[in-house]
Amino acid sequence: MKVISIFDPTATDEKSRVRGIGRYFNTLKEGLQNLGDITPSATQTGISPYAAQSQNPADNFFFQFTANLKEIKMQSIFVNPFFNPIQKPLKVRRLTQKQIAVIHDLIPMIYPKMFPVGIKGMIWKFLNKWSLRNYDLIITDSMVSKRDILHFYKIPEKKVQVIYPTVSRIFTPHLDRENESVAHHHPFHTETDHSVAEFTEISLQTITKNPTLQNLKEFAIYVGDATWNKNLPTIAQAIKMANVPCVFVGSVFGETNTKKAAIKPNQWTRSLQQFLKLAEGDDRFIFPGFVSDTELKYLYKQAKVNILISYNEGFGLSYIEAGFMSTPSVLADVPIFHEIAKDAADFAPPNNPKEIAQKISTLFYDNLHQEKMSIKAFDRAQEFHPRRFQSAWLEILKVA
CB-based contact 298:220 (threshold 8 Å): no
pLDDT in tens, 320-379: 999 999 999 999 999 999 999 999 999 999 999 999 999 999 999 999 999 999 999 999
CB-based contact 341:329 (threshold 8 Å): yes
Distance CA(45)–CA(181), nearest Å, equals 11
Distance CA(228)–CA(232), nearest Å, equals 8
Distance CA(43)–CA(46), nearest Å, equals 5
CB-based contact 73:96 (threshold 8 Å): yes
On the question of pLDDT at 228 being above 70, the answer is yes
For the chain, the maximum distance between any two Cα atoms, rounded to a whole number of angstroms, is 65
Model confidence at 183, pLDDT cuts 50, 70, 90, reads very low
Query: Does residue 205 or residue 331 have the better pLDDT?
Result: 331
Lowest mean pLDDT segment, chosen from 175-179, 209-213, 306-310: 175-179
Amino acid at residue number 345: A
CATH architecture, range 2-166+385-399? 3-Layer(aba) Sandwich (3.40)
Beta pairing, strands 160-162 & 137-140: parallel
- Helices and strands, number each (H, E), in the chain: 13, 14
Element (H or E) spanning 139, and its range?
strand 137-140
Model confidence at 199, pLDDT cuts 50, 70, 90, reads low
Q: How far is CA 211 from the centre of its chain?
A: 26
Q: pTM for this structure?
A: 0.86
**N-terminal to C-terminal alpha carbon distance within the chain:** 12
Q: How far is CA 267 from the centre of its chain?
A: 24
pLDDT in tens, 63-95: 999 999 999 999 999 999 999 999 999 989 999
pLDDT in tens, 123-158: 999 999 999 999 999 999 999 999 999 999 999 999
The reply to whether domains 2-166+385-399 and 205-383 share a CATH topology is yes
Q: What is the CATH number of domain 205-383?
A: 3.40.50.2000
CB-based contact 108:115 (threshold 8 Å): yes
Q: Where are the domains of the chain?
A: 2-166+385-399, 205-383
